[in-house]
Chains A and B, each alone.
Chain A
Amino acid sequence: MAARKAGSRLELEIERCRSECQWDRIPELVRQLSAKLISNDDMAELLLGEAGLEQYLKENPVKQGASPRGPQLKLTEVRKHLTAVLDRGNLKSDFMQEAKLIMAKLNYVEGDIKEALRIYAWVGLDDLQLVAAPPYKLRMIAEGFSIKGLCLEKLPISASTNSLHVDRDQDTITCYEKAGDIALLYLQEVERVQTASIQNRSPKPGPAAPDQELSFFLETGLQRAHVLYFKNGNLTRGVGRFREILRAVETRTTQNLRMTIARQLAEILLRGMCEQSYWNPLEQPPNQSPLDDPLHQGHNTKSYALSRRPWLYTGENIFCPQENTEEALLLLLISESMANRDAVLSRIPEHKNDRIISLQSASVVYDLLTIALGRRGQYEMLSECLERAMKFAFEEFHLWYQFALSLMAAGKSARAVKVLRECIRLKPEDATIPLLAAKLCMGSLHWMDEAERFAKMVVDCSDKSPEFKAKGYLALGLAYSLQATDVSLRGMQEDLQRKALLAFQRAHSLSPTDHQAAFYLALQLAISRQIPEALGYVRQALQLQGDDSNSLHLLALLLSAQKHHHDALNIIDMALSEYPENFILLFTKVKLESLCRGPDEALLTCKHMLQIWKSCYNLTNPSDSGRGSSLLDRAIADRRQLNTITLPDFSDPETGSVHATSIAASRVEQALSEMASSLQSSAPKQGPLHPWMTLAQIWLHAAEVYIGIGKPSEATACIQEAANLFPMSHNVLYMRGQVSELRGNIDDAKRWYEEALSISPTHVKSMQRLSLILHHLGRFSLAEKILRDAVQVNSTAHEVWNSLGEVLQAQGNDDSATECFLTALELEASSPIVPFTIIPRVL
């Protein structure tokens, strides 16, 4: 009894070793077995034969496409064992089948294809029972099919007809498909048995079963079918085969295979398929598809059945992709999670190769993810994915660069600049990177010093192609020009403006076909009030790019500076026919209209703007007054955002300048101009802040028109609309002051202007109005002080010079007053309807 039990335990152990391919233990176990049961000689022969063959294959692995080996000395022993078993035929039929399968394998290894095929026919490979077969048996059958496929491929093509040839191809593939299915089933079974036995055995887990490696034959069986499909140009079935493998529940051994196959399928979905030719994994493939080579047209449905199939992922509402990008993304995410798991972190030299391998397999996946997500515009998600890639990224330029670009595309500017800096370190010769960084710094970040530094990097680099160098000078000029607007000391301002002009000139001479260079040169000249020169360059810019909105706008402003208001308006109208939704152009239009076509036209334009705003931002509840509840809620939320955005400027000790708030105010303006530029490219940029600022601006413009025609109550209503959105805006407070003045309420007006200045101490218009009131109140010296400050901030505001003259005159300082009046006169002659700086300056 005890012996029997021991025997059966021994048998179980042998079965386990055969399932898990632990061939080195077999001879020892066989010895024990033979000691116990003398009658089982044949069984021992079988086991020894199998173990011998497998051991040989382990030491001398078969490779794809290797020439047949012929009889091997080392295998004579194996053949002897097997022949003995087969000749005697004493074993049960199950074991006889096994012996035959091993024999066929031996024949294949020794190159005797015909004999192998004969044995498979003899054993009836297609009819072998899969149900209730032990795992090792499943492995043998899977290998059998795989070897049969290999044999069929190697069989010389007899000079028979072509259709037979096609049939044989299909037979071969079917063999591989069956081999693959059974192999998957085998791997699932082995894993199930292993986990079950670990659970049973426990508390101590003992040595875990070693990671299994797939034999050549199983690997071939799993993969050869789809390789052949793609070779024959039958993408439909190839994709189908990929999906079958991937839908099978994963095992530890198939993880690497799944990672690769998932990636390959994603590649095919992205490279070779489109939305219209897609069918989802649970659908029947289309019978005719443009994917397939018309010469190899076959039927696209599976033609074989197995008595058992591998387990698939199933469930009530599991996700099934409905579109090729969706499926590609899902596969790539799966592949990514596995690639990430294999990231080699240690940096010791011995692991260099491992690092390269893990980096390669990951970066392929990340590139494909970029392609798929870029197609769908999901840059936010892409930046998150690429962030996960950063554990591979040490000194890897490509990953850093892609990460930086994705941050930039996702609107995370500050981080993008930091990452770009690392990219510059890794690849200092690439001019694009500092240019990108400069663009970001000049944009929403408003880091002008940084922008200047990046631009200088491009310019200072010696050998660059002229177009990049020109771009560098353009960036440098813009940085200077924007700095000049921010800076408060007159001397510095002039210095920066001169530098900006020089840089733009260099850019223009390096790249004469670039309309941007000509345009910014014109703009810079306009800002320093060299109107005729500016006109010349803006015409050049328009010749190069006839429908550029900024150039047209500048042309209109230049004409208005020469007091050709009707011409300016015509230009604006022309520009608006190309850019009907450009608010900056519309704002200028309102000003020009109220000047030369009367307030009614201007008000109509304001109304038109409100309509455009509504259609552009397509909000859920835009009641006409802009007072709908949801609208208000959102406005409040935005206001909070605005607070957090502008706060750093008040409290940042690093800036340290007196004019910190002017930066805050200019940022608001910046944001506005950015909005206008984002309107041109259809992509909606960041957050919902800009639309609200635009709306407030529209209301304020309407208020101004009403004030111009002396209608204080209408103006107040408009201001109230703007105040609902931004109650603390200095523009709103300034307009309130204007209304009060109109009503003759000087005290109120004074208070409003003071409040406006307390929010934005450098708001020139408020300063000018306030000083006028002070002048009337007889407080000359304070008025003079404020006006002198205002001149410091903006030396080209002719109203300020004029007021200053008046104040000085009232104080009896006639000489200085004359000088001021003359300056005012001179400036007025070249003053545009709205400041030139309203035109956005972006790279």
Chain B
Amino acid sequence: MSTERGVVEEWLSEFKILPEASITSYAASLKEKTSLVSALYEVIQEPQSELLEPVCHQLFEFYRSREKHLRTFTLQFLPELIWCYLSVSTSRDLQSSGCIEALLLSIYNLEIMDDQGHSKILSFTIPSLSKPSVFHEPSSIGSMALTEGALSQHGLSRVVYSGPHPQREMLTAQNRFEVLAFLLLCYNSALNFMPSASLRSLCQMSSRLCISGYPRQHARKYKGLKNRIPVSAEFMVQLLTGIYYSFYNGEWDSARRALDDVLYRAQLELFPEPLLVANAIKASLPQAAVKGTKKGTKSIQVEIAPTSSRISRNAVTSMSIRGHRWKRNDSSELTLPDELSEIAEVDEGFCSRAASSSSQSAMSHSSSGSFSRPPLVKSQRRSLGSRAGGKERESTGDPSREHLSRKQNQRAMSENLELVSLRRLTLTTSHSLPKPGSCSLARTATSVFSKSFEQMIGAAPVHSVAGVNTAGAGTNVETNRFSACSLQEEKLVYISERTELVVPGKSHQRSPSICITLSTD
């Protein structure tokens, strides 16, 4: 103990008298001093130590200097510092964690500013396959990846993932994990420079943080703390980044334990974000290594990959199915379970139902209407009119309402047409808009339209014939199209189909009043 104390005291004094010129070489030499590092860990772990305050102070001096090695030297203690701060602050012994808290806050306040003193905003570009890059050309990817969704995000979008962060004067329960998550982000951006002791400390911190106060604590035989420590989802995701790195950089065992504990906690907190990442990390661990342990080895290895396709030629794949035409008769087996279509429907919620049913009735009425339309719509009418016939008959029972709804439907129709043409021209879809609620009317209506539109182009003659035969109950005419395009499109077909089923019933009663509210808005 006394020798360790001596090491730390020597470290405290030698830096103070260090001449400016030799800082660089001193900084580079620090990495070698393993006894110093372990002595510092012990100081940090001992909240009562009187060395703690000068140590924190000097660590901050290191961090404030422009010397990269000095900064990484401080940064390597970050996991341990966070752990000490959190464990002390939950036991509400706020006095003794004061200097650690101050150190964490100071690092935070330094890191949120860039060199010019502006707030740092961390952003990155989401790459897009529709824009050529150093690794690919859009044409070679083929039409597969260029779905509507991809096209709507044509070009690259720059996204802010962290910042700007406000200066903080103290850590409160409200901002605590905001600050700590940002500090971990800084730590993660320098993972390559962290010695393995630091990674181990990170994993240990993650484990303890996640299980203290939970029954699993006993299984892990960890006795330090009894209280549960609150965590945030964002903080856990940052922890997982470090844990993932530790797996492949020599700390397999502790990373494995930490991953399990983070997963356990994320399950109990019902946080989807860390659950997603932790599940993915767990599933992508190399199969062979899952059971055994890989102590101390850097396990980034690659093997020779087979270059020929391992999938036999005669299997139907997404690629091969594109040229394929399905026979119309046997395809009803291909219907997806109802569940799926419900998914689509519920998510669009009320709007889609209203929109598609109004567009449906617009169709049916237009067959008797006399206003002029572009020729494309005529072909649509021919196909859908026959199927919507039954419903039309029913609605004639109430002439006044029919009149009303027809008027609205004409309007809705022309609006929809506009939307269709708009969409055809610009190919901008509402996928990119943030709120579905605000525009899903337009979106669903146009989707239904353009879908039926496609069907006309693809299979007009077959369809009109089949349409007559199935006017009464044939609803799965449309299901025949089993295309390999994205599910997104698929479920839209189902929406339109389902509404046909629903429309003759009670929901039709509803549509006029809905039209009023929606179209006047």
Contact = CB atoms under 8 A, between A and B. Distances in A.
A and B together in one complex:
yes
A367 B287 CA distance: 14
Interface residues of A, number: 153
A313 B133 contact: yes
A275 B189 contact: yes
Interface stretch (B42-50, B107-115, B374-382, B506-514): B506-514
Contacts of B133: 313, 318-321, 330
A792 interface: no
Contacts of B514: 647, 651
B144 A326 contact: no
B32 interface: no
A98 to B, nearest CB: 25
Given A342-B318, A344-B316, A357 B311 contact: yes
A467 B214 contact: yes
Contacts of B350: 644, 647-648, 651-652
Interface stretch (B3-11, B242-250, B364-372, B462-470): B242-250
Given A227-B302, A340-B145, A644-B437, A376 B307 contact: no
Looking at B230, B245, B280, the one whose CB has the most chain A CB atoms below 10 A away is B280
Nearest to A323: B124
Nearest to A268: B300
Contacts of B301: 230-231
A125 interface: no
Contact of A682 (B191, B232, B306): B232
Interface stretch (A47-55, A194-202, A416-424): A416-424
B133 to A, nearest CB: 4
A158 to B, nearest CB: 27
B178 interface: yes
A243 B243 CA distance: 26
A673 to B, nearest CB: 16
B284 A643 contact: no
Looking at A366, A388, A421, the one whose CB has the most chain B CB atoms below 10 A away is A388
A264 B249 contact: no
B307 A253 contact: yes
Interface stretch (A71-79, A218-226, A493-501): A218-226
A297 interface: no
Contacts of A299: none
A344 B312 CA distance: 10
B458 to A, nearest CB: 19
Closest 3 CB pairs of A and B: A260-B305, A370-B280, A275-B189
Given A222-B307, A275-B189, A377-B161, A412 B230 contact: no
A432 B270 contact: yes
A722 B344 CA distance: 36
Contact of B318 (A230, A264, A341, A471): A341
6 contacts: A64-B304, A256-B307, A341-B319, A342-B318, A409-B276, A515-B228
A272 B248 contact: yes
A577 interface: yes
Contact of B346 (A415, A468, A687): A415
A651 B511 CA distance: 10
Main secondary structure of the interface of A (DSSP, over half): helix
Nearest to B277: A374
Contact of B127 (A272, A333, A371, A375): A333
A342 B307 CA distance: 14
B244 A270 contact: yes
B438 A330 contact: no
Contacts of B181: 682
Contacts of A414: 346-347, 349
B253 to A, nearest CB: 17
Interface stretch (B411-419, B422-430, B483-491): B483-491
A396 B177 CA distance: 35
B308 interface: yes
A320 B284 contact: no
Given A233-B298, A341-B142, A580-B172, A272 B249 contact: yes
A261 interface: yes
A540 to B, nearest CB: 13
Given A250-B140, A402-B279, A641-B437, A388 B487 contact: yes
Contacts of A388: 486-487
B331 to A, nearest CB: 14
A401 B278 CA distance: 12
Interface string B486-508: 11100000000000000000100
A689 to B, nearest CB: 9
A281 B144 CA distance: 27
Interface in B198-248: 213-215, 226-228, 230, 232-234, 237, 240-241, 244-245, 247-248
A462 interface: no
Contacts of A658: none
Given A370-B277, A578-B174, A545 B308 contact: no
Interface in A246-297: 246-247, 249-250, 253-254, 256-257, 260-262, 264, 267-268, 270-277, 281-282, 289-291, 293
A613 interface: no
A421 B280 contact: no
Contact of B178 (A264, A615, A682): A682
A433 to B, nearest CB: 10
Looking at B175, B193, B307, B350, the one whose CB has the most chain A CB atoms below 10 A away is B307
A611 interface: no
A761 to B, nearest CB: 19
Interface in B341-397: 342-344, 346-347, 349-351
Contact of B517 (A246, A253, A390, A647): A647
Given A272-B249, A272-B300, A290-B193, A582 B284 contact: no
A282 B193 contact: no
A674 to B, nearest CB: 15
Interface of B: 90, 92, 124-129, 131-137, 140-142, 144-145, 149, 156, 159, 161, 166, 172-175, 177-178, 181, 188-193, 213-215, 226-228, 230, 232-234, 237, 240-241, 244-245, 247-249, 267-268, 270, 272-273, 275-277, 279-281, 283-284, 298, 300-312, 315-319, 321, 339, 342-344, 346-347, 349-351, 431, 434-435, 437-438, 484, 486-488, 506, 510, 513-514, 517, 521
A681 interface: yes
Contacts of B487: 387-388, 390-391
A319 B156 contact: yes
B404 to A, nearest CB: 16
A513 interface: yes
A211 B307 CA distance: 12
B284 A653 contact: no
A418 B279 contact: no
B276 to A, nearest CB: 4
A367 B228 contact: no
Contacts of A370: 276-277, 279-280
A213 interface: yes
Given A326-B125, A379-B276, A398-B279, 8 more contacts: A230-B300, A272-B249, A313-B133, A341-B142, A342-B311, A388-B487, A415-B344, A546-B90
Nearest to A315: B132
A435 B215 contact: no
A219 B304 contact: yes
A544 B134 contact: no
Contact of B315 (A253, A260, A351, A439): A351
A641 B438 contact: yes
B227 A544 contact: yes
A579 B245 contact: no
Contacts of A291: 192
Nearest to A398: B283
A368 interface: yes
Contact of B304 (A223, A267, A290, A326): A223
Nearest to A280: B134
A354 interface: yes
B306 A681 contact: no
Contact of A344 (B237, B308, B317): B317
Contacts of B437: 641, 644-645, 687
